[in-house]
Amino acid sequence: MSSSAPECDYDVVVIGAGLGGLTSAGLLANRGLRVGVFEQAPRIGGCCGSVQSGDYQFDVGATLVLFLGVIERYFTSIERSMSDYIDFLPIDPLLQVVDNEKRRFAVPTSVDETGKVFGEICAASGEGWKRYAEEASSGLLSSMADLFAVPMQNFQDARKIAEDPSSPSGSAPPMLQSFESTLRSFFKHDSILGAFSHSSYSVGLPPALAPGYAAFLNYSEHDGAYYPRGGMKALPEGIARALKEDGGEIHLGARVESVLTQGRKAIGVRLADGREVRARVVIGDINVKALYGEMLPKDRVPLWARLALSSLKLSQSSVMLMLGIEGDEGFDAQNTMFTQGLEPMNRIWFDDYERGCPSQGGYLFASVPSFTDPSLAPPGHHVVHLHTLAPYNLAGGRNWDDIRDEEAERILNFLEADFGLFLRDRIRCMRLSTPVDLERDVGLFRGALYDLESGPLSTSMFRPRMRSSLLDHLYLTGASVHLGGGIPTCIGSGIIAADMVTEDWDRES
Amino acid sequence: MKNSDQDQPDSRDDDQELAAKQRASERAPKSRRLIYLWSLARQLPWLILRYRL
C-alpha cells in the first residue's frame, strides 16, 4: 500500500485505543500507511487495562483471555511472534464454584476431568456434561474461532461463508431456544446451572433472554483460558509496541469531538482542543451510538439510522469491588463463581437491574489474577476483583458516588452471609469501580461492559456495518460491530476492518 | 407455650412460602421461554433498519 497525499496529517486516523482500534492501526501501519490513534483516556486498552493502587495492581474490566489463536493471527499478519510481545499464562482450573450451601468444586481445563468432577456431584451431571461437550464440539460453535476474522456485514457475506468449502461446518447453533432452556436441557444441578449461567451476561443478557448458542461459550474456555503476565494492560501494550515499531503514533488524552466531513466523505477529525487532524480514512473504535449520535453532522444521520440506533440495546453494566487482601483463604483459583443457582441470575435482572437497583444477591464473580501472576501483589497477598450486575442509571434519582460505601458493604455482607467468607480483617486496600467510573475513567459508553447486547437479532449483519453505511471512508471496529464485545472478538473486528480499508485503498489508489 | 404458639404460624408461613417459591421456580422456565420468544418478536420490526445500518 502506498501512502496518500501529503496534505493529510495521516493516512488513517483511529478514534479510540481499544483493542479493535489498536489492531486495525497496527495492521495498517505494518502495511505502510501513516496511522494516528487518538485516545481520550490517559492510557490505552479501554476496559482491557490495569490500574495501580498502592502495592496492588488491579484490572479495570476484562480479567482473562480466550481464543488465543485470534491474537496469534494478528502477530503473524505483521510478521512477528506473539511470544516476543506478550507472555500468556494458562489459567487452570478454569473456575472454582462455591454455592450458598458452601459446596465447592473446581472446573478443570481438561474436558474429561470436568466430566469426572461433575459425575462426582451427581451421575446425571456427569452424563449431562458428556452430552453438552459432544454438542459443543461437533456443531458450528466448535469452529467459532475460525470465523473471527471473516466479515459478516450482509447476506452476501453469509452466502460466501456458506459456499466456501473451507468454512467450518456443523449443525447450526440454537437460535429460537434461550440460554436458560438450552442449559437446562443438559444440567439439572442448580449450582452447575448457576455457575454456567454467568456466561449469558457475556452477551449482555440474563439466562432467560440470552440466545441458546451462548450456553456453549463455557465450553470454549476448555480450549484454554489465559492471563497476560504483568496484568491485562500487557495485552494492549504488546499490540501498541508493535504498532509504534511500524511507525504508528498514539496520542493519549486527546478526545475526538467530531468527524470532519466533505459531502458524503469522512476527511478527518476535530479534537476537543479545537485542532483538526486530516486523514484519508477514519476508523471509529468507540460506541456506535456515540459515534453516529454525537460525532457526525446531524444531516449525515437520517431518521432511519436514528431509529435503528435507538432499537439497539446496550449490554449490562456492573460494579467491581477491588480488594488487596492478605492471605489466600477462601480462594483456590484465579476465578471463583459464588452462586445461588440459576433462578437468581434472572431475578437480579428482572427485579433489580431493570428497575435501577444494585443487584440484591444472585451471584458474585471473583477474579484473583495474582494466583496466576503473583507479581500483581506483595508476597503473601492477593488482588481480588468481585463483579456483579449494576445498572448505570439508579432509581429514585440516586447517584453512584453517593452509594459507593453502601455498595461495597453490601457486597462484603453478601459474601459473609451467603457464603461464609469473611474478608474484612484481611483487606489492605479497597476501591469500588461503578458503571459511572467505567464511563468516566475507561470511556465505556454508559458503563456497558460488552457495548451493544448480542442477542440473535442484534448480532453479525444486524449490528452496524464496519464499512459505514452513512459516510464513505469511515470504518467501524470494536465491540459495537460484528463479533461483539470481548477480547478476541474486538481483535477479530480490528482485523476485518483493516482488511476492508486495505481492499478499498488499493481499489481507489 | 406462648413462644410455641407464635412459632407455629411462622413455621406454616415459612412452609407455604417455600412451597410457593418452588412452584414459581418450576413455572418460571416455561413462562421464560415465552418471554424469550417475545423478546425476539419485538425486535422483528427493526431488523431491516438494523441490517441497513
**Digits of tens for pLDDT over chain A (509 positions)?**
777 666 889 999 999 999 999 999 999 999 999 999 999 999 999 999 999 999 999 999 999 999 999 999 999 999 999 999 999 999 999 999 999 888 899 999 999 999 999 999 989 999 999 999 998 887 655 566 677 888 888 888 888 877 776 665 555 556 788 999 999 999 999 999 999 999 999 888 999 999 988 898 889 899 899 999 999 999 999 999 999 999 999 999 999 999 999 999 999 999 999 999 999 999 999 999 999 999 999 999 999 999 999 999 999 999 999 999 999 888 889 999 999 999 999 999 999 999 999 988 889 999 999 999 999 999 999 999 999 999 999 999 999 999 999 999 999 999 999 999 999 999 999 999 999 999 999 889 999 999 999 988 998 899 999 999 999 999 999 999 999 999 999 999 999 999 999 999 999 88
Do residues A246 and A30 touch, judged by C-beta distance below 8 A?
Answer: yes
Q: Does A5 touch chain B (CB under 8 A)?
A: no
Q: Are strands A50-53 and A95-99 parallel, antiparallel or unpaired?
A: unpaired
Residues in CB range of A401: below 8 A, 6 or more apart: A434, A436
- Report the residue from B33, B43, B53 with minimal CB separation from A181: B33
Which amino acid is residue A108, in one-letter code? P
Report the candidate in A345, A349, A341 with the shortest Cα–Cα distance to residue A315.
A349
Quick check: B40 and A309 CB within 8 A?
A: no
CA distance A10 to A275: 14
ipTM of this complex = 0.86
List, as ranges, residues 166-225 from A with C-beta within 8 Å of B.
176-178, 180-181, 184, 208-209
Residues in CB range of B9: below 8 A, 6 or more apart: none
Alpha-carbon distance A201 to nearest alpha carbon in chain B (angstroms) = 15
pTM: 0.91
A312 vs B contacts (CB less than 8 Å)? 50
Do residues A66 and A492 touch, judged by C-beta distance below 8 A?
Answer: no
Quick check: A462 and B51 CB within 8 A?
A: yes
Quick check: A308 and B36 CB within 8 A?
A: no
- Report the residue from B35, B44, B52 with minimal CB separation from A208: B35
Q: Does A469 touch chain B (CB under 8 A)?
A: yes
Quick check: A457 and B36 CB within 8 A?
A: no
Enter the C-alpha cell of residue A387: 463483579
Residues in CB range of A309: below 8 A, 6 or more apart: A288, A289, A292, A293, B53
A316-to-A321, A416, B47 alpha-carbon distances in Å: 17, 25, 22
Q: Does B32 touch chain A (CB under 8 A)?
A: yes
B40 vs A contacts (CB less than 8 Å)? 176, 455-457
- Report the residue from B29, B50, B52 with minimal CB separation from A180: B29
Q: Which of B27, B36, B38 to mutate to test the interface with A (most CBs of A within 10 A)?
A: B36
A461 vs B contacts (CB less than 8 Å)? 51
Beta strands in A195-329 (DSSP E): 226-228, 249-252, 256-262, 265-271, 276-284, 318-326
Quick check: B52 and A307 CB within 8 A?
A: no
Report the candidate in A266, A176, A200 with the shortest Cα–Cα distance to residue A467.
A266
Do residues A208 and B36 touch, judged by C-beta distance below 8 A?
Answer: yes
Q: Does B28 touch chain A (CB under 8 A)?
A: yes
Helix, strand, or coil (residue A191): helix
B33 vs A contacts (CB less than 8 Å)? 178, 181
Q: Does A462 touch chain B (CB under 8 A)?
A: yes
C-alpha triplet A149, A482, A509: angle, nearest 5°: 65
Do residues A176 and A159 touch, judged by C-beta distance below 8 A?
Answer: no
